[in-house]
């Protein structure tokens, strides 16, 4: 279908009242601040840094770097010489200096409606200190890697911040990954301890996480790597109720409860059988009962590692993306504040899983650094029914809501009725991340979910970038459906052609960045050469995103998707016979991860007829693969 108007001619503005009190109220203000951030990054980021606590001040340049492989090793350093602790900054500073101890940090909403828990900043700090002491009692010290394989529960945030408090490096593995993936990641980062849980429910489906974790540890042993300790949270078992997050009148999942306070009848759900190896396994609750709630943070150098997060693995062997303390802290804090135009009375909800970068940056670090109140949701958008999201929005009066195009498209299929069942009048800003949003889904999000009032921030970024790099600001930027609009402060994009020349004006090509911002990744863990060759070799002097991009006549950027996904239709003469397709296959759907990414390595295997697909545990719908294999057989080669 050819639209009668090009999407780039559609321009939208959020409601006028957004501007009142906004951090960046107008487009002119954005342009002015952007210019300052580029001309004097030290001043711009120095001002952001003033809000934080530094044990010692930085010496030398604020941001130092080399992006040019031909001139030597690639490096990025931010605030060298300074020391701080990110956990102290997101918790102690809020509780003690900003007097936010009684403010809610998280409204936890379980998979089952009625399962809920409210945690204040003071309570979170208390739990984090205790778990940090637990980690220390298990011999974890600064620089050690800790693998975390947990469902979306508050204890996942506790575990990551406890690592950060003692200077240990967390390596979170999405709880939807298989034993194989978990094992590969544990071995690659040589973790000394694993934190996991008994299990969890995804809708009606029980995931016996501990069984998978045990299988992963067995695989590690088979590969000659043995991990000494595994701490297990009893999330589903009954005893968790008495000993978990302590003080608040918690309603936690308790499988044999039939009736909740809200009067709903809850299904009786089986509890997983948890195998227990006393040599290795330690009970979270028992350990937490034995430690003090005071814990002096470890003061870390700015460039000390904070965490490793493996990229989604859509392009072969996963890369352990490494982020460091100070730059990541400044960047996630600043992007969260400005991109969601954060206000103290907001209730913010990001539906991503903490197992992905979106959850790291915009459930844990960015919101907590700003003293925000967030919803932490364990469940699915479609369970128990397709109104769940909007029910939660009304329940907690969510004002800023952040999700993925794949979720929007899924809900769109059910029409507007399930959305209109709820008021949603608390909503002020809507966000999207993960893949390009098609204008149709954008329109639906804008008109049906946001009632035409709420600006949409289409945030383009990557695990590697640490935080948003191309994005509208809600009160300032006129929006175009499907465009990530303009760069965030301190970010300098360029579009290159195949020969590496920068293209001006209206153009299309490779999206690259010309200089670092504080939150950009520092290396691929244990493989700096792979970092250099993946991101810096193709076009020396630039960070190469791997995404294609178009700039329109008004200077708006439109991300067109991963470069290696695209077929160049001019194909044979320009590129050469090597780029001619062997055959063209009809594909009713593509194999996508649950976060909406196309799994290219699976496509490659299907193309070559190879049945062994490796780890496909993050596939959203595995029947797609079968369908593609079937179509392949029917295609004349
Ligand atoms: C944050 C995250 C990164 C890749 C990225 C791009 C795609 C993310 C997007 C988007 C168009 C957006 N992507 N946000 N494409 N518009 N707003 O998703 O990180 O899992 O590392 O994926 O996702 O292709 O290169 P990650």
Answer yes or no: are the C-beta atoms of 77 and 205 closer than 8 Å. Answer: no
Beta bridge partners of 417: none
The SS3 of residue 323 is strand
Q: Which atom of ligand 1 is nearest to the CA of 432?
A: 17
Pocket test for ligand 1, best of 461, 535, 594 (most atoms within 8 A of CB): 461
Min mean pLDDT across 481-495, 521-535, 555-569 is at 555-569
Using a 10 angstrom Cβ sphere, with 0-12 exposed, 13-18 middle and 19 or more buried, the burial of residue 160 is buried
Using a 10 angstrom Cβ sphere, with 0-12 exposed, 13-18 middle and 19 or more buried, the burial of residue 502 is middle
CA–CA dist 211, 219 (Å, integer): 12
Q: How far is the CA of 637 from the centre of ligand 1 (A)?
A: 34
Decide whether any atom of ligand 1 lies within 6 Å of the 176 Cβ: no
Decide whether any atom of ligand 1 lies within 6 Å of the 357 Cβ: yes
Decide whether any atom of ligand 1 lies within 6 Å of the 455 Cβ: no
Q: Which atom of ligand 1 is nearest to the CA of 471?
A: 17
pLDDT score recorded for residue 79? 98
CA–CA dist 465, 484 (Å, integer): 15
Q: What is the mean pLDDT of the chain?
A: 90
Q: Which residue has the tokens 């939660």?
A: 392
Answer yes or no: are the C-beta atoms of 407 and 444 closer than 8 Å. Answer: no
Which residue puts its alpha carbon closest to atom 17 of ligand 1? 460
CA–CA dist 309, 496 (Å, integer): 28
Pocket test for ligand 1, best of 313, 323, 433, 560 (most atoms within 8 A of CB): 433
Q: HEC profile for 576-601?
A: CHHHCCCCCCCCCCCCEECCCCECHH
Answer yes or no: are the C-beta atoms of 342 and 370 closer than 8 Å. Answer: yes
281-283 β-sheet, strand order = 281-283, 229-233, 193-197, 145-149, 169-172, 305-310, 320-324, 523-524
The SS3 of residue 309 is strand
Run of H or E residues at 287: helix 284-289
Confidence class of residue 601 from pLDDT cuts 50, 70 and 90? confident
User: Which residues touch 565 (CB under 8 Å, ≥6 apart)?
Assistant: 598, 600
Letter string b/e over residues 314-338, b meaning 16 or more CB atoms within 10 A of that residue's CB: bbeebbbbbbbbbbbbbbbbbbbbb
pLDDT score recorded for residue 158? 98
Using a 10 angstrom Cβ sphere, with 0-12 exposed, 13-18 middle and 19 or more buried, the burial of residue 69 is middle
Answer yes or no: are the C-beta atoms of 366 and 333 closer than 8 Å. Answer: yes
Which residue puts its alpha carbon closest to atom 3 of ligand 1? 462
Q: How far is the CA of 309 from the centre of ligand 1 (A)?
A: 15
Tell me: pLDDT of 315 over 60. Answer: no
User: Which residues touch 194 (CB under 8 Å, ≥6 apart)?
Assistant: 146, 147, 148, 149, 186, 213, 217, 227, 229, 230, 231
User: Which residues touch 480 (CB under 8 Å, ≥6 apart)?
Assistant: 7, 8, 10, 11, 12, 552, 556
User: Which residues touch 287 (CB under 8 Å, ≥6 apart)?
Assistant: 134, 137, 138, 231
CA–CA dist 518, 192 (Å, integer): 29
Name the more confident of 464 and 568. 464
What percent of the chain shows pLDDT beyond 90? 77
Decide whether any atom of ligand 1 lies within 6 Å of the 355 Cβ: no
Which residue puts its alpha carbon closest to atom 16 of ligand 1? 436
Answer yes or no: are the C-beta atoms of 470 and 460 closer than 8 Å. Answer: yes
Confidence class of residue 565 from pLDDT cuts 50, 70 and 90? low
Q: Which atom of ligand 1 is nearest to the CA of 546?
A: 25
Confidence class of residue 606 from pLDDT cuts 50, 70 and 90? confident
Answer yes or no: are the C-beta atoms of 260 and 267 closer than 8 Å. Answer: no
pLDDT in tens, 47-62: 999 999 999 999 988 9
Q: How far is the CA of 560 from the centre of ligand 1 (A)?
A: 11
Q: What is the pTM of this model?
A: 0.92
pLDDT score recorded for residue 254? 35
CA–CA dist 227, 70 (Å, integer): 40
Which residue puts its alpha carbon closest to atom 1 of ligand 1? 462
Tell me: pLDDT of 338 over 70. Answer: yes
pLDDT in tens, 16-46: 889 999 999 999 999 999 999 999 999 999 9
Name the more confident of 579 and 26. 26
pLDDT in tens, 101-131: 999 999 999 999 999 999 999 999 999 999 9
pLDDT in tens, 432-449: 999 999 999 999 999 999
Q: How far is the CA of 513 from the centre of ligand 1 (A)?
A: 15
Decide whether any atom of ligand 1 lies within 6 Å of the 550 Cβ: no
Q: Nearest Cα to 336, choosing from 474, 174, 522, 477? A: 474
Q: How far is the CA of 590 from the centre of ligand 1 (A)?
A: 17
Which residue puts its alpha carbon closest to atom 22 of ligand 1? 462
Tokens of residue 267, six digits: 């299904």
Confidence class of residue 313 from pLDDT cuts 50, 70 and 90? low
Tokens of residue 396, six digits: 């907690």
Residue 248 sits at φ, ψ, to 5 deg, of: -65, 155
Decide whether any atom of ligand 1 lies within 6 Å of the 434 Cβ: yes
CA–CA dist 512, 536 (Å, integer): 10
pLDDT in tens, 208-247: 999 999 999 999 999 999 998 999 999 997 544 434 444 3
Q: Which atom of ligand 1 is nearest to the CA of 311?
A: 21
Decide whether any atom of ligand 1 lies within 6 Å of the 435 Cβ: yes
Tell me: pLDDT of 96 over 60. Answer: yes
Classify 263 in phi/psi space as left (phi over 0), alpha (psi -120 to 50) or beta: left
Tokens of residue 631, six digits: 């179509």
Run of H or E residues at 31: helix 27-39
Residue 172 sits at φ, ψ, to 5 deg, of: -90, 135
Pocket test for ligand 1, best of 460, 463, 510, 549 (most atoms within 8 A of CB): 460
Cis peptide before 384, with omega less than 30 degrees from 0? yes
Decide whether any atom of ligand 1 lies within 6 Å of the 311 Cβ: yes
DSSP string computed for 485-545? BSBPTT--EEEE-TT-PEE-SSEEEEEEESS--TTS--EETT-HHHHHHHHTSSSTTSEEE
Tell me: pLDDT of 522 over 50. Answer: yes
pLDDT in tens, 241-285: 434 444 333 444 433 333 344 433 445 677 777 899 999 999 999
pLDDT score recorded for residue 607? 79
Confidence class of residue 610 from pLDDT cuts 50, 70 and 90? confident
Q: How far is the CA of 160 from the centre of ligand 1 (A)?
A: 23
Average pLDDT, integer, range 66-85 = 98
Cβ neighbours of 632 (radius 10 Å)? 17
Pocket test for ligand 1, best of 462, 519, 548 (most atoms within 8 A of CB): 462
Decide whether any atom of ligand 1 lies within 6 Å of the 562 Cβ: yes
Dihedral sign from CA coordinates of 424, 430, 433, 438: positive
Average pLDDT, integer, range 342-358 = 98
347-350 β-sheet, strand order = 116-120, 104-109, 373-377, 347-350, 400-403, 429-432, 456-458
pLDDT score recorded for residue 16? 86
Decide whether any atom of ligand 1 lies within 6 Å of the 397 Cβ: no
Q: How far is the CA of 465 from the centre of ligand 1 (A)?
A: 10
What percent of the chain shows pLDDT beyond 70? 89
Answer yes or no: are the C-beta atoms of 568 and 405 closer than 8 Å. Answer: no
pLDDT score recorded for residue 2? 44
Which residue puts its alpha carbon closest to atom 12 of ligand 1? 460
Confidence class of residue 581 from pLDDT cuts 50, 70 and 90? low
CA distance from start to end of the chain: 29
């Amino acid at each position: 279908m050819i639209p009668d108007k090009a999407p780039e001619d559609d321009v939208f503005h959020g409601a006028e009242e957004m501007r009142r009190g906004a951090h960046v109220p107008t487009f002119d203000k954005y342009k002015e601040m952007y210019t300052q951030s580029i001309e004097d990054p030290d001043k711009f980021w120095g001002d952001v840094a003033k809000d934080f606590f530094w044990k010692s001040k930085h010496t030398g340049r604020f941001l130092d770097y080399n992006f040019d492989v031909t001139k030597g090793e690639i490096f990025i350093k931010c605030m060298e010489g300074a020391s701080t602790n990110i956990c102290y900054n997101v918790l102690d500073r809020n509780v003690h200096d900003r007097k936010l101890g009684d403010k809610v940090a998280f409204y936890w909403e379980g998979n089952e409606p009625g399962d809920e828990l409210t945690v204040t900043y003071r309570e979170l700090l208390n739990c984090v200190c205790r778990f940090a002491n637990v980690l220390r009692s298990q011999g974890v010290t600064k620089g050690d890697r800790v693998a975390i394989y947990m469902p979306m529960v508050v204890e996942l945030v506790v575990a990551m911040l406890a690592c950060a408090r003692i200077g240990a490096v967390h390596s979170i593995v999405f709880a939807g990954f298989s034993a194989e993936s978990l094992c590969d990641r544990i071995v690659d980062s040589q973790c000394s301890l694993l934190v996991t849980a008994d299990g969890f429910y995804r809708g009606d489906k029980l995931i016996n996480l501990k069984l998978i974790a045990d299988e992963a540890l067995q695989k590690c042993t088979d590969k000659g790597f043995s991990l000494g300790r595994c701490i297990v949270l009893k999330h589903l078992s009954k005893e968790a109720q008495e000993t978990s997050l302590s003080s608040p009148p918690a309603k936690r999942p308790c499988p044999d409860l039939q009736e909740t306070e809200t009067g709903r009848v809850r299904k009786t759900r089986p509890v997983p059988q948890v195998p227990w190896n006393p040599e290795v396994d330690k009970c979270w609750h028992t350990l937490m009962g034995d430690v003090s709630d005071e814990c002096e943070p470890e003061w870390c150098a700015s460039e000390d590692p904070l965490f490793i997060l493996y990229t989604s693995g859509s392009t072969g062997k996963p890369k352990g993306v490494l982020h460091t303390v100070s730059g990541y802290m400044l960047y996630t804090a600043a992007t969260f504040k400005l991109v969601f135009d954060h206000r103290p009375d907001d209730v913010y909800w990001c539906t991503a899983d903490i197992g992905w970068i979106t959850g790291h940056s915009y459930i844990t670090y960015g919101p907590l650094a700003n003293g925000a109140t967030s919803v932490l949701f364990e469940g699915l958008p479609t369970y128990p029914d397709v109104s769940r999201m909007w029910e939660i929005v009304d329940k907690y009066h969510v004002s800023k809501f952040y999700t993925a195009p794949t979720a929007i498209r899924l809900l769109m299929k059910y029409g507007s009725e399930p959305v209109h069942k709820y008021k949603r009048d608390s909503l002020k800003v809507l966000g999207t991340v993960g893949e390009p949003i098609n204008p149709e889904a954008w329109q639906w999000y804008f008109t049906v979910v946001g009632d035409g009032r709420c600006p949409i921030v289409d945030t383009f970024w990557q695990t590697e970038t640490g935080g948003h790099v191309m994005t509208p600001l809600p009160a300032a930027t006129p929006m175009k459906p499907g465009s990530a609009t303009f760069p965030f402060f301190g970010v300098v994009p360029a579009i290159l052609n195949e020969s590496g020349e920068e293209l001006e004006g209206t153009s299309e090509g490779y999206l690259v960045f010309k200089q670092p911002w504080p939150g950009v990744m520092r290396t691929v863990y244990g493989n700096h050469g792979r970092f250099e060759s993946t991101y810096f070799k193709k076009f020396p002097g630039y960070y190469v995103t791997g995404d294609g991009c178009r700039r329109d006549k008004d200077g708006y950027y439109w991300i067109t998707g991963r470069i290696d996904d695209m077929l160049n239709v001019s194909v044979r003469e320009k590129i050469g016979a090597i780029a001619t397709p062997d055959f063209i296959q009809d594909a009713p759907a593509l194999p996508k991860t649950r976060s909406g990414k196309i799994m290219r390595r699976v496509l490659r295997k299907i193309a070559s007829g190879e049945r062994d697909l490796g780890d496909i545990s993050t596939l959203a719908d595995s029947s797609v693969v079968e369908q593609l294999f079937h179509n392949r057989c029917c295609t004349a080669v």
